[in-house]
Chains A and B, each alone.
Chain A
Amino acid sequence: MQNALYTSATIVELLPMCVGSPIYKITLSPHSPLQHWSAGQFIMLDFGSSHLCSFARPFSIASIGSSTVTLYIHIRGKETKHLRTLSRGDVLHMWGPLGNSFSPPTKETLLIAGGIGIAPFVTYTNQYRTPLTFLFGHRIDEENYPLNECSTMTTCRTFHDNNSSSLQVFLDEIRATMLQYKQGQVLACGPLPLLRYIRNLAIELDIYAELSLEETMFCGVGACLGCVCKTTDSYSDSRYSDSYVQSCTAGPIFVAHNILI
């Protein structure tokens, strides 16, 4: 939050991940450079879809270069579909970096992502450049995702979970692997059902896990109270125990034991 700023940004690269992919890599050159960010943080990106009323959307920072920021965006609906109408040279608005970040790796750190939840781990694996195991589940083909952009020091195991039996294989593998990380930490990002599964495992097996939530956000700065997540008694800030906290400022990353999802 300390370094967050609002800036316009020029699109310097915008490409689908493969022919016909719903996922785009977008590289922007912010007119004021983003500074002091860490893996897990996000920006709010305004697609400028309507002159009068367009709300920005949150996206994980997948990498920041000296004068650029790269995101991977899965086209879902109202705002993200505008990606298809944009091109190099167009100017958008954004603010960030926002939110908290994942803890740095300890000796044993397991990364788990589902789908576009891979985005923060592109930064994470490159920021820390240490051997890490990464379990990655995806519904559409692997070539849609920036797996090659993750550090080569990362051991990636991918699971094509496009039906219920292959999904079960992924979930079983998560359980089996998490058991080997009882002294370490699990960092996860992905769809809510996956995060819920990992949260429940973390509690059952008493493993430290950090989950990056994808709540709907409107302001990204803690003001609208539309992105809140329910906390448990173990949440450190007693003001919030058993009540709601903004996932844009207190999160998007929460310790599994501290939240109800």
Chain B
Amino acid sequence: MVDCRVQLGSDSFMLSLENPIMTASGTFGYGLEFTNYGDIGSLGAIVLKGISLRPRVGNPMPRIAEVEGGLLNAVGLQNYGVEYLISHILPQLQDTRATVIANLYANSVHEFAELARILSEESAIHALELNVSCPNVREGGVLFGQNKAMLADVVSHVTRVSKKHVSVKLTPNVTDIVEMARIAEDNGANSLTCINTLQGMAVDIYSKKPKLANIYGGLSGPCIKPVALQCVHRVAQAVSIPVIGVGGICSAQDVLEFILVGAYAVQIGTATFMNPTFPFQLVDELVTLCKEIGIERIEEFRNTLL
């Protein structure tokens, strides 16, 4: 038997997961899209597509381009809005016994706090993840994650009203991610999610056009794994709250690499697009790999990099 359970935090906002495999926001829809492919209740947690107070149409097409080793996306947070989420989606999720994390997006501190207040009341939601790191929207988004004062402001306001575990999702598009991590921790974050996409671009020399209508987009997939590992390692050394690793994970070995450098749990993003059963398979593959290496408890392997 391998004990895969992990605990994010130790106080009243502790989040217990059956295993460290989570899905990354924006790559797993609202979870219900995947019920044909596996039991979403068997995953550590699922993170929903970014949700805003009001519905958002998103960016024009094309929104996603394939690049070497990954994807470039500028979806622009198309979503139904929080009202629809609560009335139509959460009741269905409640029946799945999945651990559900809402990913929050807003244009202002006030809206972030309002969203957190509303979602705090929902029993189907187990934690909140603040997306202060989306590179694909004009207002809000990554601006919050790149400006120290704004980050402090939004995290403190949200954690003050939230009755749930709050994770802050950091962007690698900053000079010093450790500084941002500390600000989030100091202002009440219960955990940190590292990392959101890296800003990138792709062009076509024949049409002379950018491959995305938005021109720039967020880079994800296996090509960003070394960047993500480095961010997780540095942040995990600097803060005392749990870090959730995300970026390019494509195998059980990748999962253990993130845990080795200090991650408590991981999120699977782009890899799910290549195979909708992947996150479910990974839960089993992780156990197999742990047995092979002789890891009995996932938590004992964490942060043991020599």
* Inter-subunit contact B69/A53 (CB<8 Å): yes
Q: Is the CB of B222 within 8 A of A52?
A: yes
Using Cβ atoms and an 8 Å threshold, which residues of chain B touch A6?
37, 275-277
Instruction: Answer whether residue A223 sits at the interface, using C-beta atoms and an 8 A cutoff.
Output: yes
Would A226 and B73 count as touching, CB distance under 8 A?
A: yes
Alpha-carbon distance between A239 and B275 when the two chains are bound, in angstroms: 28
Q: Cβ of A221 and Cβ of B276 under 8 Å apart?
A: yes
**Does A232 have its Cβ within 8 Å of any Cβ on chain B?**
no
- Name A222's contact: one of B33, B62, B70 (CB within 8 Å): B33
Once A5-B36, A53-B69 are accepted as A-B contacts, the answer to whether A219 and B273 lie under 8 Å apart by CB is yes
Contact of B57 among A5, A243, A249 (CB under 8 A): A243
Whether B274 lies near A53 (C-beta < 8 A) is: yes
Q: Distance in Å from the Cβ of A193 to the closest Cβ of chain B? A: 16
- Contact (A223, B34) CB under 8 Å given A52-B222, A52-B250: yes
Q: 0/1 per residue, B33-64, Cβ < 8 Å to A?
A: 11011000000000001000001011001111
**Known contacts A53-B70, A225-B58: A216-B64 contact under CB 8 Å:** yes
A14 to chain B, nearest CB (A): 22
Considering the complex, which residues of chain B in the window 1-59 have a beta carbon less than 8 Å from any beta carbon of chain A?
26-29, 33-34, 36-37, 49, 55, 57-58
Per the bound structure, the CA–CA distance linking A77 and B36 in Å amounts to 30
Number of interchain pairs (Cβ within 8 Å):
96
* A53-B34 contact given A228-B78, A244-B58, CB 8 Å threshold: no
Interface range for B: 35 or more
Query: How close is B274's CB to chain A, nearest CB, in angstroms?
Result: 6
Q: How many residues of A contact B (CB 8 A)?
A: 31
Kindly state the separation between the CA atoms of A219 and B70 in the bound complex, as whole angstroms.
Answer: 13
Do A223 and B222 form a contact, CB below 8 Å, given A6-B37, A239-B84? no
Shortest Cβ distance from residue A202 to the other chain B in the assembled complex, whole angstroms: 22
With A53-B69, A54-B274 already in contact, the answer to whether A5 and B37 are too (CB < 8 A) is yes
Judged by a CB distance under 8 angstroms, whether A1 is at the interface is: yes
Smallest distance from the beta carbon of A58 to chain B beta carbons, Å?
12
Indicate if the CB atoms of B61 and A223 lie closer than 8 Å.
no
With a cutoff of 8 Å between Cβ atoms, the chain A residues found around residue B277 in the complex are: 6, 95
Shortest A119–chain B CB gap in Å is 23
Contact A221 B69 (CB under 8 A): no
Task: Indicate whether B133 reaches chain A with its CB closer than 8 angstroms.
Answer: no
Q: Chain B: which residue is nearest A223 at the CB level?
A: B29
Extra inter-chain contacts (12) besides given A95-B277, A244-B58, CB under 8 Å = A54-B274, A55-B274, A56-B274, A78-B66, A218-B64, A223-B33, A223-B49, A224-B64, A225-B26, A226-B73, A239-B84, A243-B78
